[in-house]
Amino acid sequence: MKTGELHQLFLKTSRMHYKCSQTKLLKSGITPGQPRILNFLYEHDGCIQRELSKSCDLKPATVTNILAGMEKADLIFRINDSTDRRILRVFLTDKGTQAQQKLDRVFAALEKDCFEDYSDQEKEAMHIFLDRIYFNLKKMEE
């Protein structure tokens, strides 16, 4: 592999995956930034915004902006914590739960398209390789 070839391959693949996923998600009414938050809230309903920011690897201000749009779209609601009024807890509405389920279907279909003609062993190897690359790069961040 030539120097820079991996970088170009990642960029090309990432752009195409983003383009395909966003086209499908926008048809479902899900905007960029919402998927990570919908998925996290589906598993951790009632969490605080700081947890969302950390777990979704997003800046607090970014989470605040995304949540404002999601609240306006009736996907989430926020209430003050019962023990500390300064803390807001974030919950999915029924509409938000339905959006997350649409999200699952969109990504399942996209993953099926991505791995067309791949064996189960090849899919598993791809996941392992990408995880290893991610963790190698993550170590550089520290």
Give residue-wise pLDDT tens across range 83-130: 888 888 999 999 999 999 999 999 999 999 999 999 999 999 999 999
Which residue do the tokens 């991505």 mark? Answer: 114
Residues 6+ apart with CB under 8 A from 73: 29, 95
Whether CATH 3.40.1160.10 fits 5-141? no
pLDDT on residue 116: 95
Residue ranges covered by each domain of the chain: 5-141
Enter the pTM of the model.
0.80
Helices within the chain (DSSP H only):
5-27, 34-43, 49-55, 60-72, 94-114, 120-141
pLDDT at 82 over 90: no
